[in-house]
Amino acid sequence: MKKLFYVTGFFAFFLIGNGILFKIMHWPSASIQLCMGVLLLNLGYLPAYFYNKYKANA
């Protein structure tokens, strides 16, 4: 579970950072990368993060 948590976080932040770089350089597929990164962050990483925090406190 922890490994999937770290891999999801890495890919989400990688896509967001790469999408920002592509936006600055005006390269194609920047919007797709940003959207996929934000979706992965909101639907994959953050729920797992808060679940781990909840399990640690319970």
pTM exceeding the 0.75 threshold for the entire prediction: yes
Q: What is the pLDDT of residue 49?
A: 92
Q: Please count the structural domains in the chain.
A: 1
Q: What is the pLDDT of residue 58?
A: 78
Per-residue tens of pLDDT for the chain, all 58 residues: 789 889 999 999 999 999 999 999 999 999 999 999 999 999 999 999 999 999 999 7
DSSP 8-state secondary structure symbol assigned to residue 1: -
In a domain, 2, yes or no: no
In a domain, 1, yes or no: no
In a domain, 35, yes or no: yes
In a domain, 45, yes or no: yes
